[in-house]
Chains A and B, each alone.
Chain A
Amino acid sequence: MGLDIRLPIGLLFSILGGLLIAYGALSDVAIYQRSLGININLTWGIVMLLFGAVMLALGRRGTKL
């Protein structure tokens, strides 16, 4: 249908992951008290960025599923 849906998903998740990583690296550790001391922004940002990169790679190669 003209547009491979994996590309926008990959891009969206890479951007959101990047934003969370950047904010996680710069933010005050005190805010992570509520998330059990885990820097959840940094951790989850990395997961989202990786997922986004995989989607982008699959979409660019045009792999059929």
Chain B
Amino acid sequence: MLRAIDWTIMVVYFVFVLGIGALLKRHVKTSTDFFLAGRSIPAWVAGLAFLSANLGAQEVIGMGASGAKYGIATSHFYWIGAIPAMVFVGVFMMPFYYGSRARSVPEYLRLRFDEKTRGLNAVSFALMTLFSSGISMYAMAKLIQILHIFDTPFVWAGLPQSWIFHFSLVISAVVVLGYILLGGLTSAIYNEVVQFFLIVAGFLPLVWLGLKNVGGWSGLKATLNPTYTHSWMGMGSAHTNRLGVEWFGLTMGLGFVLSFGYWCTDFLVIQRAMAANSMNSARCTPLIAAFPKMLFPFLVILPGLIAIALPTQNLAGLAGPHSATILQGAGLIPAKVDALGQPVRDQDGLVQLDYDLATPNMLLHYFPTGILGLGLTALLASFMSGMAGNVTAFNTVWTYDIYQSYINPTASDEHYLWMGRMATIFGIALSVAAAYMATRFNNIMDMLQLVFAFVNAPLFATFLLGMFWKRSTGHGAFTGLLTGTIGAALHHALTLPQGAVPGVKGGWIATLHVYPSEMAQNFWTAIYAWTTCFLITIAVSWLTRPHEEKELVGLVYSLTERPQQQDLRWYQRPAVLAVVVLAATALLNIVFR
């Protein structure tokens, strides 16, 4: 399937990835160089890395799948679920993250609250990054297998096809390990920028060809049911739109709690802004990232929509099981098939589609040899940028917030630099282990994912109170986080999505309420967790001794000087960028309502 030209493109890219790491090696002298890129990254580079670090496998494949399943309403994950939070973190929160000189998000919690709040956040975050980078690797190895990328070379080499999965895991681990070990965060950031451009270069021609084929956006509208092509239609009730969520759950659950919880507190993305070369660059980082983010739905969601809009065709040569059951798929998307080769049906007898194959099949369908190599390289690049983001966030939190805080506080800077490199190695080794765990124990992975969701849901309440209410205390924050997590677990234990059986999907204590969809349940779990954390933090803070005001200078809004903006050009001012981003997002929502 792949020819010499495709392989050449892939190899050229990998040479560049490792070459950038090698060129940066001589600049890494201190732990600050390794973990924070020497705080020397220009705003636009940090901005594109901020975007790209989040652009893992889940995004490119998952958003294409959601596009095919839910239609253009998937753009809510961008226009509601990302942009407002990215604007907020840049304008209001970055002055404290960057200004406090904290080296990580848990370290900010240490400065603002106390040791136990930091410890809780650092440990849960470190585990979570390892776990997500493992999931990312697992997904990539699976995809390589399904797309038959390495089949021919393995036949030539006389190796069994069953090794492809292991080979893909090892090769991606080695490449990411190589460039992070060499150049640290700078290397990860630089490669994320390269990956950003490569992903755009690989997917833009796909969208162009696809849209040309179906007659543009108007062609899509004419072919598909209107619920696919309107993002706000039927959002009044959870039963009248494809997502199965009503507008309040969507805007509060996704748009406020989950989105602000991720973009404003997750060290994976915040680290990119902390590496910026000035306070103003750090504030502009998420705002610059918001511009491409706003347009990404067209790059990653449209392929899914086009895949479902095309006439159902013989999928020979595309990914998926090659049998008669293929014809029960839709467009380019095959049916899910069970172990016996029969299509999987839901309780209403409808055939379940394997939506994750929407985007990969689009690549195989439209791209001839040559550009196919570019498209697949872009896909691999997206996996690696997500993995590298997790690994750099992990090695920093491990070294500064766990190793330096609790294990060895008085070592030399050289020693911490060494520890950072070691953490990169065992972090990646543990990710590989997590990837193998995913292949063997699906249920454990689902459970872990659930636990992390409970831990994450209340986080934003803690940061909001910490940054904007000087009376909030360490005891308050810690109790709030714990009870928020318990609140999330309880809510999950007492509710169930429609059609699910009690267990990992919820209802494991009792079923008091049934949600119309799993998404609605997730959003409401988040809303309950956030509210619990918010109220308990306030209550406990009132009962405990407040921090001295002089300890909180630079950490809390009311006690910190506003950043100076006089000598900046208009387009360098965060407030101006913020208004432009928000106005453009509002416009997109109106156009695609």
Contacts and interface: CB of A to CB of B under 8 A. Distances in A.
Interface string A13-38: 10110011001100100011011101
A57 interface: no
Contact of B190 (A3, A11, A35, A41): A3
B12 A8 contact: no
A13 B368 contact: no
A41 B368 contact: yes
B371 A44 contact: yes
Contacts of B188: none
Contact of A36 (B8, B9, B209): B209
A28 to B, nearest CB: 10
B9 A35 contact: no
Contacts of A27: 368-370
Interface of A: 1-3, 5, 8-9, 11-13, 15-16, 19-20, 23-24, 27, 31-32, 34-36, 38, 40-41, 43-44, 48, 51, 64-65
Given A1-B38, A65-B42, A8 B370 contact: no
Given A20-B9, A40-B371, A44-B205, 20 more contacts: A1-B24, A2-B24, A2-B26, A3-B20, A3-B190, A5-B45, A8-B19, A9-B194, A12-B13, A12-B16, A12-B198, A19-B5, A20-B374, A23-B5, A27-B368, A32-B368, A40-B209, A41-B371, A44-B201, A44-B374
A13 B201 contact: yes
Nearest to B4: A23
Interface of B: 5, 8-9, 12-13, 16, 19-20, 23-24, 26-27, 37-38, 40-45, 186, 190, 193-194, 197-198, 201, 205, 209, 212-213, 365-371, 374
Given A2-B24, A19-B9, A40-B209, A8 B44 contact: no
B12 A16 contact: yes
A34 B367 contact: yes
A8 B374 contact: no
A3 B20 CA distance: 9
Contacts of B198: 12
Given A32-B368, A34-B366, A35-B209, A19 B12 contact: yes
